[in-house]
Structure 1
Amino acid sequence: MSTVEDFFAQHDDWPWNPPRPGRASFHYLIAVTAGELRHDVDHVTRTVSRGQWLWVRPGHTQCWHPPGDARGAFVLFEPDVLSPDIARLLAPLTAHTAPAVLTPHPEDGAWLRQTALQLLDEHRALGRRPLDVHHALRRSLLESLLLRLANSPDITPAGTTAGAGRGDTYGRFVDALELHFRELHQVADYAELLGCSVRTLSRAARDATGKGARELIDERRLLEARRLLGGARWTARAVAAHLGFTDPANFGRFFRGHTGLSPAAFTAEEATSTP
């Protein structure tokens, strides 16, 4: 737990000079209370303005931009710090498909900022209270913050409609896709897994996102390929095997067809690009 300004001050010119994409292994949650923050999440530059929150989740590829005038709380936490019951309640917003930039309702903004400041104060209070009490307070404040943020009226997880539950066909498909995208690549595979017809699954996906189920499957595989080639620096052969392609040539055709670049060209571009 820190602040954006302290993080930039403590790290001098790293990691934004030179900018290098890396894969997040923690949750990065930043509340911008002044100025503007620019940050790449999965190769898309996000602009986070005053009153908004940036949430980078484990598995996302991120790249820092040079520090600007952004100010605000910076919360870094591991996925397993949340209690199981709270983790279930937060599942729609901790999922990798949830939006990176969140704009809570104005009536929640002041409360969220205050809770973030209380969390920062407790983080800095190490030694002031018994250690078990200190850890319990930090987790309680973090869970309160996340629950309020996740349930602010203006927050709707990506790919869902207001009031939609995770028990619907599309929600179950998203969950299954995240678990099985490496080995299951056909719409029929997921329809069988979910106990519905291909037509029902395709209609649910299109109603929720405007895209077909096959397009969503390909997008998830492509996203993982970009993460591994760019942030993790895997070889094309290793990525192909990891994503279930029969050989690197098939993976190369898939990747070029969706990006216009070969895996090698994409890796080279990522290594030399700057925000």
Structure 2
Amino acid sequence: MILVENGQPSDVRQLRYAPAPGAGFGVEVLSFERLRQLDRGGRRTGPQRPDFHVLALVRSGVGHHAADFVDHPLRAGGVVWIRPGVVHRWTDVDRVDGPLVLFEPGFLPAWGPAQPAAADAFAPACWQLDDEAWALSLLAADHLGREHAAAVADPRLASPPLLAHLLSALVLRVLPAGGEHLGGEHLGGEHLGGGHAGAERTGNPGHAEQHEIFRRYQVAVEHRFAEDHQVTGYARILGYDRRTLTRATRAATGLGAKQFLDQRILLEAKRLLAHTDLPVARCAERVGFADAANFTTFFQRQAGLSPSRWRAGHSGR
């Protein structure tokens, strides 16, 4: 595992992933012990923002982890999932052990059932599993770890599709109860933060189609939220009308399409305010507001505080 920083006007380490020699499969299986060995200087305790997924299972020990302004206690039976872009800190994992899986965005099968959970920017970072789910999750993680180790040891045994499917099995096993898609049930508190173009779709799509419509909208929002703040723009790109996007998003998250988009913009704004020294006006620019006053009005309406007051209470968290 090689973690590389790129320069940003921020106190947050921007982490890029490059596989260790001979392990370029899109996924890598480590452990908390290996993390400590690679980080003798303890930089893991500072805020960092990976561009890859980190999925960890706490097999033993106790500690703490912070993600997007929330501190999480760690103990046996716990799951940690840091998605790309989340600002987090391993505040105390000196006594924690268990598997640590790193994987690149897009490594999971694109049309598989695990992909929506991987794409959910609002999903929780930590949760506990019951005993039965935990035992099966460890089996899934161990199977993935053994296949990964075999692939590294003998390239003839390497099979990225097999590793991707084993990772999918692990993801589905560790999801919280009822969390086959985590969607909007986690859009509260501090976690707040398609069709064919030209062939506009209307009508009342069924459950499966609504799920696919929301998935397309979710992906588009993640790529464009700092450029386009209007649902009509996404509707035009995806080939659906605004009402169709709103129905699909509400079915998946409990929020309308505009509310979902606004919450994604707000989450990014909070990350910038908490973890950078950028002036409020620059933070506004980074999330697509040319006018700082409009950004302040938006933030006040969504968060209940001005950007400056919110930053004062969350800086460095």
TM-score under structure 2 length normalisation: 0.66
Asked if 1:226 corresponds to 2:251, the answer is no
Q: Deviations over 1:92-140 (max 9, x none)?
A: 132143443466786664454245345556777898x44x347x26x46
* Aligned: 1:239 with 2:283: yes
Quote how far apart the aligned CAs of 1:157 are: 2.0
1:53 to 73, 79, 86: 79
Query: 1:85-100 counterparts in 2 under 5 A?
Result: 86-89=109-112, 90-97=114-121, 98-100=123-125
Partner of 2:182: 158
Deviation at 1:223, TM superposition (A): 1.0
Aligned counterpart, 1:27? 53
- Corresponding pairs, count: 263
Deviation at 1:59, TM superposition (A): 1.0
Alignment of 1:148 onto 2:174: no
Aligned-pair identity (%) = 34
Counterpart Cα distance in 1 of 2:267 and 2:184: 19
Query: Deviation at 1:202?
Result: 2.6
| Unaligned 5+ runs, structure 2 | 1-28, 186-206
Counterpart of 1:25, as a letter, is D
Superposed counterparts of 1:165-180, under 5 Å: 167-180=211-224
- Separation in 2, partners of 1:142, 1:43: 33
Distance 1:103 1:151 in 2: 14
Partner Cα distance (1:147, 1:116) in 2: 11
- Compute the TM-score of the two structures, normalised by the length of structure 1: 0.74
CA distance in 2, matches of 1:53, 1:8: 18
- Taking the aligned partners of 2:279 and 2:99, their CA distance within structure 1 comes to 37
Match of 1:113 among 138, 153, 162: 138
Contact 2:211–2:252 (Cα < 8 Å) also in 1: no
Which residue is 2:16 aligned to? Answer: none
Q: 1:27 to 1:170 in 2, by over 3 A?
A: closer
The 1-side partners of 2:210 and 2:64 are apart by 31
CA distance change for structure 1 residues 164 and 48 in 2, over 3 Å: closer, same or farther? farther
Give the AA of the match of 1:29.
Answer: L
> Quick check: 1:99–1:157 contact (8 Å CA) kept in 2?
no
Compute the RMSD of aligned alpha carbons. 3.7
Check if 1:7 corresponds to 2:35.
yes
Structure 1 SS opposite 2:64:
strand
How far apart are 1:225 and its partner, in Å? Answer: 1.4
Q: Which amino acid aligns with 1:43?
A: F
* Cα contact 2:266–2:299 (8 A) shared by 1: yes
Amino acid aligned to 2:125: A
Residue number in structure 2 paired with 1:255? 299
Contact 2:225–2:265, Cα closer than 8 Å, also in 1: yes
Question: Equivalent residue of 1:258, what SS?
Answer: helix
Q: Which runs of 5+ in 1 are unaligned?
A: none
Residue equivalent to 1:43: 69
1:187 aligns to what?
Answer: 231
Per-residue CA deviations over 1:242-264 (Å, capped at 9, x if unaligned) read 32212122222322333344444
How far did 1:49 drift? Answer: 4.5
Aligned CA distance change for structure 1 residues 257 and 114 (closer, same or farther; 3 Å): same
